[in-house]
Structure 1
Amino acid sequence: MKTVFAALAGIVAVSWIYLLAGAGMPKMEMGSGNVMLMPPASWSVGYAAIIFVMWTIMMVAMMIPSAAPTILRIANRAQGLTIAAFFTSGYLIVWTGFSALATTAQWAFDSAHVLSDSMAIRSEVAAGLIVIASGLYQLSPVKRNCLRRCCSSKNLVGDDRTTSLQWGGPPCPPPLRESMAGTA
């Protein structure tokens, strides 16, 4: 378990170092030791690849810490290292997919000249509408339904064999719960 924790901490640390070092973005010396990240005049496939890697590594840096308790709990079970590796891989694949969508959206917004050089939305009205839409989603029945139906990690990997969920949703499928617990 200490090895898994150390590996997760190392991955997160390396990710943050990469991001704080500029994430592979082109830089311009501003004098006095100041450096400014410089986006290109127009997007290219190479620049999109740099942005995709930046988004992917940023998701690793931010999302692995939130998944670490579950990963460690899975790794602590019999045959847990293999299952934890599969769980972590799947988790990162989902966030890599999000990174592809974020890169595409950033490219589209930047090409439409909706973003400023600092990657802020130029239109105050558009920014306000995005905040309002996000707030409405947070209060929506759709979000409440998603939360009610999701399986908690405690029920996936815990010792409790009951099928009731803390959120009141449907039970987790027993084969998944048992394989995650290392008993299948």
Structure 2
Amino acid sequence: MTSTLSSVELPRELAVSERGFLAVSALLFIGSAAATVAWCTAMPGMAEMPMAWMPMCGQTWWSFAASFICMWTVMMVAMMLPSLLPMLRRYRVALHLAGKPNVDAHTALAGTAYFAVWGLIGAMVFALEAAVAELEMTSPVLARALPAAAGAVVLAAGALQFSAWKARQLAGCRVVPAPGSTAWRYGLRLGMRCASSCAGLTAILLVIGVMDLRAMAAVSAAITLERLAPDGDRVARCIGAVAIVAGLLQLASAALP
């Protein structure tokens, strides 16, 4: 079904709408990428400093969490939009073929639902990182064990890239919805499938440094390649091999005195 939709010759009206869709997507990507760079530049040491995961003077935990979740979601727009864009385009074509009205509104709703999933993941990431930072400040033993733990996470994430589960989740990221599926439901399902597919790569980003622009770019490129490449499973395994080597090197480095 994917190849059929991709080969459909769009009528003039939908082709004009398509150009608007691509223009808006480009502006959204540029804006989210610029905001992410500004955020990381303003808080370069957040991943390394436990105190950076605590509210500043006069700031409540709720407002601190809300600001992080907001910026996390903006960051995910910049990272995930390149791989999401082809799926949204196929979704628009599917809506057109099914005779659905308001294609633009349905597409926007599906995209919003997709990134709502990533916003929820951001809330869980914040809770996890804040808890780790608290333990790191109160337990010197744990702080010394963190580099080895990070290496183990990278190693496990690399091994996950070779699993049948990973292949199923990756295939789910390319599914075009049935005509009866609502935009919000499709966006949520696609978001959950894609979040599951790149769970290992997201874990690597978290242990390397959520504020590290180079890590963001590398993880974003890996996610985009494995989703859009003709042989995505092979690309995923190549990425896994690189992650395994990196994890072993990090474990070896942590073991040295």
Both structures adopt the same fold (TM-score exceeding 0.5): yes
- The answer to whether the Cα contact below 8 Å between 1:55 and 1:103 also exists between their aligned partners in 2 is no
The alpha-carbon deviation at position 73 of structure 1 amounts to 2.9
Shift in alpha-carbon separation, 1:81–1:50, aligned structure 2, 3 A: same
Distance in 2, Cα, partners of 1:61 & 1:42? 23
- The answer to whether the Cα contact below 8 Å between 2:36 and 2:74 also exists between their aligned partners in 1 is yes
Structure with the higher fraction of residues in helix conformation: 2
Gaps of 5+ in 1: 27-35, 115-120, 157-175
- The answer to whether the Cα contact below 8 Å between 2:88 and 2:107 also exists between their aligned partners in 1 is yes
Residue number in structure 2 paired with 1:62 = 79
Deviations 1:54-111 (A, max 9, x none): 2111001111221111212333425322321221122111111121122222212222
Give the letter for the 1:56 counterpart: T
Deviations 1:91-140 (A, max 9, x none): 111111121122222212222228xxxxxx97331122111211222223
- The answer to whether the Cα contact below 8 Å between 1:12 and 1:64 also exists between their aligned partners in 2 is yes
Q: Quick check: 1:7 aligned with 2:27? A: no
Residue number in structure 2 paired with 1:31 = none
Percent identity among equivalent residues? 26
Q: Quick check: 1:111 aligned with 2:134? A: yes
- Higher RCO structure (Cα 8 Å, ≥6 apart): 2
Residue number in structure 2 paired with 1:17 = 34
Gaps of 5+ in 2: 1-17, 56-60, 138-143, 184-257
What TM-score do you get using the length of structure 2 for normalisation? 0.48
Residue number in structure 2 paired with 1:73 = 90
The alpha-carbon deviation at position 47 of structure 1 amounts to 2.8
Q: Map 1:1-184 onto structure 2 (within 5 A).
A: 1-22=18-39, 25=42, 43-44=54-55, 45=61, 46-76=63-93, 77=96, 78=99, 79=101, 80-113=103-136, 123-147=146-170, 150=172, 152-153=174-175, 156=176, 176-179=177-180
Structure with the higher fraction of residues in strand conformation: 1
Secondary structure of the corresponding residue to residue 39 of structure 2: coil
Deviations 1:29-48 (A, max 9, x none): xxxxxxx6677566131333
Give the letter for the 2:74 counterpart: I
What TM-score do you get using the length of structure 1 for normalisation? 0.64
Secondary structure of the corresponding residue to residue 112 of structure 1: helix
Shift in alpha-carbon separation, 1:109–1:5, aligned structure 2, 3 A: same
The alpha-carbon deviation at position 50 of structure 1 amounts to 2.4
The alpha-carbon deviation at position 145 of structure 1 amounts to 4.2
Q: How many residues align?
A: 146
